[in-house]
Amino acid sequence: MIRKNSKIFVAGHNGLVGSAILRLLKLKGYKNIITANRKKLDLLDQKKVFSFLKLKKPKFIFLAAAKVGGIYSNNKYKANFIYENLMIQSNIIHSAYKNGIKELIFLGSSCVYPKFAKQPIKEKYLLSGELEKTNDAYALAKIAGIKMCESYNEQYKTKYKCLMPTNTFGPNDNYDKLNSHFIPALIRKIYEIEKFDKKKLILWGNGKTKREVIFVDDIADACIYFMNKNTKHHLINIGTGKEYSILDYAKLFLKALIPQKKIKISFMKKNLNGTPRKVLDVSLARKYGWKSKTKLVDALKYTYKNLNKINFK
């Protein structure tokens, strides 16, 4: 159980998920939070990570640092994705164990389940089939992190948990034209339609691919909830359990954000589509008493209002 003065390390506190965890911890009155940006602590450096944890001795770690990107960069920079993720998570998880830190939440992702997993995806489907080719390097690294947590729990009696969130969005997202996920990419396109008075929204792929999305503050809420919860399971899906096509999202977003404009939607069909369908079975999280709270339209309007255009590279 985290106490208000427990020492907590949030790794990746400037990122989308890490910054949401940090915000919520502060809001809930946790006072002893430690962070270190990349300049101060490069998580690829095993010795530095070990020394940092030895010196600071946090009792709880939220591991939200990772090399993350959308379909384009996952496919193009596979070597970076597999190397950096294996290193970051191995350095933190192993050093945590070595320094007697028993409580850690590792962020996995719904995109590491098999490409053709039965839907909705249950936790037990992990490793039950072929991975999506465009992000297999990232997925394999993440799966290794999950197996590491499981193995350390079995052998060293740690209580490391892996949360598996679905696609997310919110403040501090990455809006890069090539490297972002589909929700921030869509938000950026709508912002540019509004700003430059464009008449057309062009979507990558055929628009039929189905996805589930969750507001990042709900993921942060799940992270803190499950850090405080004794669970038999170490792997828990975090989502809403609802899915819509990319085209449905596009229509919904246009209506919610710029209802005054008439926009034509078209498709760049030669672009990658990714896994055809991806919706999580969230019954395990619900059994433990957690469910997502924020309505999609509310989260979207909030994110749009607080867009940080500095991230518009």
Ligand X SMILES: NC(=O)c1ccc[n+]([C@@H]2O[C@H](COP(=O)([O-])OP(=O)(O)OC[C@H]3O[C@@H](n4cnc5c(N)ncnc54)[C@H](OP(=O)(O)O)[C@@H]3O)[C@@H](O)[C@H]2O)c1
Q: Which positions are annotated as active-site residues?
A: 138
Q: Which CB atom, from 3 or from 26, has the smaller least distance to ligand X?
A: 26
Which residue is at the shortest CB distance from ligand X? 15
Comparison of 197 and 273: residue with beta carbon closer to ligand X? 273
What does the CA dihedral 190, 194, 198, 204 come to, rounded to 10 degrees? -10
Nearer to ligand X by Cβ, of 38 and 295: the residue is 38
Nearer to ligand X by C-beta: 170 or 205?
Answer: 170
Q: Interface with ligand X includes 51 (CB under 6 A)?
A: no
Identified binder of ligand X from the candidate list 6, 14, 32, 99, rule CB under 6 A? 14
Give the nearest distance from C-beta 200 to ligand X in angstroms: 26
38 binds ligand X (CB under 6 A): yes
Please provide the distance, in angstroms rounded to a whole number, between the alpha carbons at the two ends of the chain: 41
Among 53, 66, 254, 299, binds ligand X (CB under 6 A): 66
| Site residue total, ligand X (CB under 6 A) | 24
**Helical H runs in 158-203?**
182-196
Q: According to the binding rule CB under 6 A, does residue 303 interact with ligand X?
A: no
Q: Which residues contact 203 (CB under 8 A, 6 or more apart)?
A: 186, 246, 247, 250, 265, 266, 267, 268
Does residue number 80 form part of the binding site for ligand X (CB under 6 A)? no
Q: Is 17 in the site for ligand X (CB under 6 A)?
A: yes
Nearest to 133 by CA among 15, 262, 274: 274
In the bound state with ligand X, the residue whose beta carbon lies nearer, of 189 and 211, is 211
CB closer to ligand X out of 97 and 175: 175
Distance separating alpha carbons of residues 287 and 233, to the nearest angstrom: 11
Residue span 83-102 as binding mask against ligand X, x where in contact by CB under 6 A, dash where not? -----x--------------
Positive or negative CA dihedral for 221, 227, 228, 231? positive
- Cβ nearer to ligand X, comparing 12 with 120: 12
Q: Which of 2, 34, 44, 307 binds ligand X (CB under 6 A)?
A: 44
Return d(Cα 106, Cα 309) in angstroms, integer: 29
Stretch of 25-33, 66-74, 123-131, 260-268 lying at the interface with ligand X (CB under 6 A): 66-74
Length of the chain: 313
- Whether residue 36 contacts residue 65, with contact meaning beta carbons closer than 8 Å, is answered with no
The edge-to-edge listing of strands for the beta sheet with 60-63 is 33-34, 8-11, 60-63, 103-107, 159-165, 235-238
Binding mask 160-199 for ligand X (x = CB under 6 A): -----x-xx-----x------x------------------
- Separation CA 162–CA 109 (nearest Å): 9
Q: How far is the CB of 301 from ligand X (least distance, A)?
A: 19
The answer to whether 284 contacts ligand X (rule: CB under 6 A) is no
Phi, psi angle pair for 163, to nearest 5°: -95, 140
Contact 207, 56 (CB under 8 A): no
What is the C-alpha to C-alpha distance for residues 10 and 158, in angstroms, rounded to an integer?
Answer: 18
Q: Which of 24, 61, 65, 162 binds ligand X (CB under 6 A)?
A: 65
Minimum gap (Å) between residue 234 Cβ and ligand X: 16
Q: How far, rounded to the nearest angstrom, does the alpha carbon of residue 259 sit from its chain's CA centroid?
A: 29
Assess 254 for contact with ligand X (CB under 6 A): no
Binding site residues, ligand X, CB under 6 A: 12, 14-18, 37-38, 42-44, 64-68, 88, 107, 109, 165, 167-168, 174, 181
